Amino acid sequence: MNWYLLSTQPYKRELFLKYLEQSISEKQLQELILQTISPVDAVYQEMVLVPLTDFQQARSCLQKIEYFQRLEPKQLKVEQVRRMSGDNSLV
């Protein structure tokens, strides 16, 4: 699974997640954007962790969602995702 860090506009993460879930349902993106995780630490309050199957296609879809700011091109290591999410059981 390829994990990436997504940034939202300041103080808009929850709204972005709402719109993202709607977009995933309406456009059948479940196989492209596998899940979303909001990091627990306040330092990451405007970020979302996402495992993607196709970075380019996902970025194109994400850019159309309100409050999206940036998708970091560098893939995250599983250890980083575990630390940021607070979930040591992630694979």
Tell how strand 68-71 and strand 2-8 pair up: antiparallel
> Is the pTM here over 0.85, yes or no?
yes
**pLDDT beyond 90 at 88:** no
**What are the tens digits of pLDDT across the range 29-83?**
999 999 999 998 899 999 999 999 999 999 999 999 999 999 999 999 999 999 9
Sheet containing 2-8: give its strands across. 47-52, 2-8, 68-71
Handedness of CA 5, 9, 11, 14 (dihedral sign): negative
